[in-house]
Each structure stands twice: as C-alpha cells, then as structure tokens.
Structure 1
Amino acid sequence: MKGLELTLAIIKPNATKLPHAVQGIRNRIISSGFYVVRTKDVHLSMNEAQQFYIEHKQKFFYDRLTSFLSSGNIHVHILAGTNAIQMWRQLLGPTKVYQAKVENPTSIRALYGVTDTRNAAHGSDSLLESIDSAAKIGIVCPHIFQATIIVQGTYNGKYTRVII
C-alpha cells in the first residue's frame, strides 16, 4: 500500500439510524477509491465522547457535541487511499450543514446532515489526529495491524511516533 495515507472516518448517530444514509455513505467511500482497512461499530460512553473531543473542551458547543456523539451507535472506519485525509474531508463537505448544501450539495453533510452538530460524519484533520482519535475509541490496538506504517511528527505539541 505504498503511497497510501490513512484517515479516520466516523458516521455519527443521526446517520447510523438511517439505513439509506449508512449505505449511501459507504457507497461513496468505496466509489471514491478508498480501501476500508478497519471498521467498528461502537456506542461511546459520555466519558469516551469527552475524551474523543477533548480539544474542544473550552468551546461553547462541547457539551452538545459530546452528548450527541454518545447518544447512539457510530460507525468508525479507518480508510486508506491516496491523499485520504483531503479526499475524505472533500467528500464530507463543510462542517456547517447549510454551507455544505450551498457550496457542495452532493457532499455527505449536505445530503445526510441535519444541523452543525448532527452533520452525519466526522473526518480528522491530520494523520496523527486520526491515529490518536482511533486509539481513543479502541479501533487501533497493537494486535490489529502489522507494523507496516510508521507515522512521525508532532501532535498536541508532543513528538509522536506511531507504528501500526
């Protein structure tokens, strides 16, 4: 898988409750050329949701966001592809659903999002954030992957080296 990048993709509770939304999002993932490396369906506790979004703790929407993420099942995917982070975020569209409907009406958030919090899906900003977030919700464990990819860099001000 040389030249491929990993990213974390999460289908949020509002979308997982709708079979047509789940199928539509998964179809977009596959038709966009992603490889699905790992998939896990989970129901996060409030504490897990708070840890997942810890970087937003001081923001006004933190409580609403963490309550929502822990309100139902989420589908978590680790995707691989060329420029996977950028491609996934492009498929998602803008975070704000109204903006997505205007600027990118065929995006996942425009099609399946309801509000800025209930915007159907999550995408990480960087590879290190993807790995960190995936570890927080237990989708990345040492026994899951062979040591084939080494990620180095800084994340949250700390030097990080992750082997998955």
Structure 2
Amino acid sequence: MKRKTLIFFIVCWAFIIGSGIMYFTYATESEVITIENNQKSVENSEKEKVTIYVPNFKLTTLEKRETEIDLAQSTKDRAIKLTEKIIEVLRGEKYIKSEDITLYNVYFNDKTIYLDFSSQIKELDDNTQKSLMTIYSIVNSLTETGKFDRVKIMVNGEDGTKNLGKFYKRNTGI
C-alpha cells in the first residue's frame, strides 16, 4: 500500500512540475511584460485604434482623438483597456490630478456599463466644469461604439454623492 501511495505522489509531482515548465515556456514566449513606475506595458502585442474624447483648453467642448490600445479579447477587456487609456490621457493633460486612481472592476447590465474605481476618483465628485467635462470624456469615449447607452461611475463599489451618483448618457452637444 505504501509503495502505491509513493508512486502516486511521484507521478502527481512530475505532472505538476511538467505543467509548470510548459506554462512558463508558453507565458514567456507569448508576450514580454515590463513594469516601470507602476505602469505595465506589453511589448509585441497587437493594437487597435479607438476614439477618445478629451476636453479642450477652455473646457467648452470635447475634442475627438484617435489613439491605440492593446487588442482586446472580450468586451470587458476592451472596456478596461479603453478606460485605463482615457484616464492616462486625462492625467497626462492635467484634467485628473491623482496618480493613484485604480479601476477595480467593470461590469454590464443591459446597455449600461459600470466602472468601479478606487476612492481617488472622488476628485471628480464636485460640480465644477472641469470635473463634468472629464466625466463626459470617459462617458463619450466608452459609448462611442454604440454597445453602451449609459455609464455609471462607482467609488469602491458604491455611488458617489454629486457627479458620481448619476447615470450618464452620451452627450454629443459638448
């Protein structure tokens, strides 16, 4: 009995080690991931062109821009990559101050997309023109494809109080 148990454990460990080697080989060949300054960038991956909206200098309209994101495998993956790209651009152009805004989750209900951010997104939870234009940058960019009609921005899984407590529809008038 002990001999059969020993052989069983040896076979299991051999399988686990072999699986780990195959996974490691596959993972290192498929794409190279480098991490710099808390930013993750994927080299040698396919890109897709997307349209995003960014407030103009006077905060009176949104300007349409073409940019690229990594090719997405699903609607959720595309929404995550697009949202992260919008946040990156808005941060780069100083419409968002916080460097620590994290997108925790994205989920859908009918034609509504819910974005669950870390508490740092609360900087947009006031009624200033800058905050509203920044929110509509996110909304118009995500609703560009027509798959979604509304966007709801959540803070740690809960509603905000002012701007972040609402559902937003695409606004082409700005």
* TM-score range for the pair, normalised by the shorter chain length: under 0.3
Give TM-score scaled by structure 1 length.
0.24
Give TM-score scaled by structure 2 length.
0.23
Query: Rg bigger for which structure?
Result: 2
Larger RCO, structure (CA 8 Å, separation 6 or more): 1
